[in-house]
Structure 1
């Protein structure tokens, strides 16, 4: 790995460690659960993904693994396994053009998917602006897919529910995996965090009031 690649990977690792500490503080990444990624290169696609099996509240800049478009590790000298969900991170990044993909185990997202397995409808909420939609006169559906241990299956299910942005309607940059957790993405870490935090608030409100 070149010095430049090492520097970029460590920079990504520092960003992801800070985000993981934040989400752990919210109770969204208990123990070793959840995983976060940043795109390092686009062509070919390379992501830095939080390493598997580590306490997400205590990550360092070195606790990331580089993966390719299939979610498999790229560095032969790095014996650490990438997250089991790295393949879905890579697929979402490739499909949406996102620069960051965050996956956490927020409880209300799982409860919402249990109650509304066909998708969670939200409308007339000011916070919808934070994921790019109108606060009124628009029904936003946060999609739900079934859980599976095969990320190729999950990627196909993502494609079934993902609606790309159009000139009139932005995408919904969030998805729930039933009985598992939620994914959010954005052009960079700040955008992915914003989408994740706002979607979790909307889901929490929906679960509490319906």
Structure 2
């Protein structure tokens, strides 16, 4: 009888560990700057979420920074690439629109990760989000805008001497269909990505 109870307890423990392992996703958050100039990414948590970085991160050309999400807890927030920063004077772009905004959310129900690049507030730096280390059955596309829209921006929509663009949503969507350009917009490619090992925000991606 005691042996049977012990085996039952062991089976329950193994099952619990298996269930725990199935949902305890660990996703690394990486930022990679491929721009020929430094970028100061500002990582801001959404309301009620803990901060995972301060405002002092500087990524020189080809610089990398890896951050940790808070364990298996759900987290969501945004990243704004700032340029030309010179504390305490501020930054040339990124402190106010026009700004490119990368949005991420991890560890929702079942380990769901959601991410997007928004041009709702304009554009200042090309950016994409690339998931890594995910099951091949998942829909985890690369999303964002790899095009330098400052160079292509219509003359009347250029801001700050060409350091930003406040063009129409139609212009942004035509140039970068894998971004969100209005409050109700979605990307051309659907996503349903569970438990990626890494989400990488790349500034000035090469492809």
Structure 2 length-normalised TM: 0.29
Specify the structure having the higher radius of gyration (Cα): 2
RCO higher in structure (CA 8 A, sep ≥6)? 2
User: Larger helix proportion, structure 1 or 2?
Assistant: 1
